[in-house]
Amino acid sequence: MLKRGSTIGILGGGQLGRMMAVAAAQLGYRCIGYSPEGDNVAAAVCEDFFTNEWDDKEALAAFAARCDVVTWEFENVPVETARAFPADQIFPDPRALETAQDRLSEKRFVEDLGGRPAAYAKVDSRTDLEAAADRLGAPGILKTRRDGYDGKGQWRIMSGRDAAGLKMPDAAAIYEGFVEFRAEFSVILVRGQNGEVRFWDSARNTHEGGVLAASLLPAGKVVDAQVEEARKLAGKVAQALNYVGVLTLEFFATHEGPIFNEMAPRVHNSGHWTIEGAATSQFENHIRAVAGLPLGDTRTIAEAVEMRNILGTEIEGAHAFLADADTHLHDYGKSEVREGRKMGHLTRLTRS
């Protein structure tokens, strides 16, 4: 258990790290961030920040020497960077990064645990893509196996003609068959160092242009009927990875039950509602877990919750939403405003 005043290192400098650092400060901990050059908005709430490349061994050693434990705030931290820290200093285990960073490995891992991903095929060439589209059908989605988020690194294939004419990505890829779903939802859990697991209520998610637009609670009967099965799979994933911290699995609710979409070994956009809407937020419970503290209560404390992302120039007028007393604004402090970029979020609570 980390004593008061200890230092938590955060790999990554985005809004998730920013909100983790705020939660850590409330628990009496200091945070130091580490990330290459960029709009590192977490730096504003960290005691110090290392702006160095992921493979800078000297900087990583200096960073490690100042931290009691280390965690990360996004899943594209290089596995080699995470493995540079002793196993008893970094949480979760870097194997979670290794699993999540390759979509093909991720799907096979989940299948081995009894989960059901969308039908998929490995794609290394145009011939592979055309064969996959023919076997699995179109429409479908071609995705790069590595990197890519919020709709990036993805191409919708509507027909065999699309497959034949697409400019192939210069990277290993995977083709996924189209899933006829009734709703999208997330299972977000926290697992402590002692193996205890707690779940938050699952929100119904809506996406626009590949970016999460909103998360809503209650999620509705369609989602509620499939949450238990999805939780069982998420628990198996956490157990298999000896996971410590917050873990997210995204699902499609279908007529055949929950279909696994992808996992995020970190706090998640669809869990931002927990800051005001749950007894303990995903950010606080992640810090509790990596610090070895008892986990907090994850129950929902409002009758209904709506979380909406603020994208691009929408942030300029966001203060107007505060005229509603039950609306909470989170501005991430990003200096570069561009179309589709997540600039903040709003959470509206309905109380009984």
Please state the rounded mean pLDDT for residues 288-297.
98
pLDDT digits (tens, 9 = 90+) for 191-205: 999 999 999 999 999
Place of tokens 């950010």: 283
Distance from C-alpha of 126 to C-alpha of 278, rounded to nearest angstrom: 47
Q: Is 151 annotated as a binding residue?
A: yes
Q: Is 184 annotated as a binding residue?
A: yes
Q: Is 256 annotated as a binding residue?
A: no
Run of H or E including 15: helix 15-26
Q: Is 150 annotated as a binding residue?
A: yes
Neighbouring CB atoms inside 10 A of 205's CB total 22
Does residue 311 have a pLDDT over 80?
yes
304-290-145-112 Cα dihedral, nearest 10 degrees: -90
Q: Are 287 and 29 in contact (CB under 8 A)?
A: yes
Identify the residue with better confidence: 140 or 218.
218
User: Which of the listed CATH numbers 3.40.1190.10, 3.30.470.10, 3.40.50.20, 3.40.50.720 matches domain 7-90?
Assistant: 3.40.50.20
**pTM of this prediction?**
0.95
What pLDDT was estimated at residue 323?
A: 96
Concatenating the DSSP letter of every residue in 206-271 gives: EEETTEEEEEEES--HHHHHHHHHHHHHHHHHHHHTT--EEEEEEEEEETTEEEEEEEESS--GGG
Q: Domain coordinates of the chain in residue numbers?
A: 7-90, 119-177, 183-350
Does residue 341 have a pLDDT over 80?
yes
pLDDT digits (tens, 9 = 90+) for 32-77: 999 999 899 999 999 999 999 999 999 999 999 999 999 999 999 9
Q: Are 202 and 187 in contact (CB under 8 A)?
A: yes
What pLDDT was estimated at residue 149?
A: 59
* Residue % of the chain over a pLDDT of 90: 85
Distance from C-alpha of 283 to C-alpha of 286, rounded to nearest angstrom: 5
Indicate the SS3 state at residue 46: coil
Does residue 285 have a pLDDT over 70?
yes
What pLDDT was estimated at residue 156?
A: 87
Cis peptide before 139 (omega within 30 of 0): yes
Topology adopted by domain 183-350:
D-amino Acid Aminotransferase; Chain A, domain 1 (3.30.470)
Q: Is 154 annotated as a binding residue?
A: yes
Q: Is 261 annotated as a binding residue?
A: yes
Q: Are 190 and 246 in contact (CB under 8 A)?
A: yes
Q: Is 207 annotated as a binding residue?
A: yes
Any idea which architecture 119-177 has in CATH?
2-Layer Sandwich (3.30)
What pLDDT was estimated at residue 168?
A: 80
pLDDT digits (tens, 9 = 90+) for 118-142: 999 999 988 888 888 889 988 899 9
Q: Are 197 and 249 in contact (CB under 8 A)?
A: no
Q: Is 152 annotated as a binding residue?
A: yes
What pLDDT was estimated at residue 133?
A: 87
What pLDDT was estimated at residue 132?
A: 86
Distance from C-alpha of 225 to C-alpha of 19, rounded to nearest angstrom: 31
Place of tokens 């999540």: 100
pLDDT digits (tens, 9 = 90+) for 151-161: 567 888 887 67
Cis peptide before 169 (omega within 30 of 0): no
First to last CA, the chain: 37
Q: Which of 149, 148, 123 is CA-nearest to residue 268? A: 149
Q: Is 149 annotated as a binding residue?
A: yes
What pLDDT was estimated at residue 151?
A: 58
* Count helices and strands in the chain by DSSP H and E runs: 10, 17
Distances, alpha carbon 264 to alpha carbons 49, 103, 152, 267, 336, in Å: 24, 11, 16, 8, 25
Q: Is 176 annotated as a binding residue?
A: yes
Q: Is 178 annotated as a binding residue?
A: yes
pLDDT digits (tens, 9 = 90+) for 76-97: 999 999 999 999 999 999 999 9
Q: Give the pair of three-digit tokens for residue 69.
A: 């434990």
Q: Is 198 annotated as a binding residue?
A: no
Confidence of residue 147 (pLDDT cuts 50, 70, 90): confident
Does residue 210 have a pLDDT over 70?
yes
Average pLDDT, the chain: 95
What pLDDT was estimated at residue 146?
A: 87
Helices (H), 50-102: 57-65, 79-82, 95-100
Does residue 327 have a pLDDT over 80?
yes
Does residue 150 have a pLDDT over 60?
no
What pLDDT was estimated at residue 69?
A: 98
Confidence of residue 166 (pLDDT cuts 50, 70, 90): confident
Indicate the SS3 state at residue 43: helix
Give strand ranges (E) for the chain.
7-11, 30-34, 48-50, 69-72, 120-123, 140-144, 154-157, 173-177, 183-191, 197-199, 204-208, 211-217, 245-254, 257-264, 304-311, 327-331, 342-350
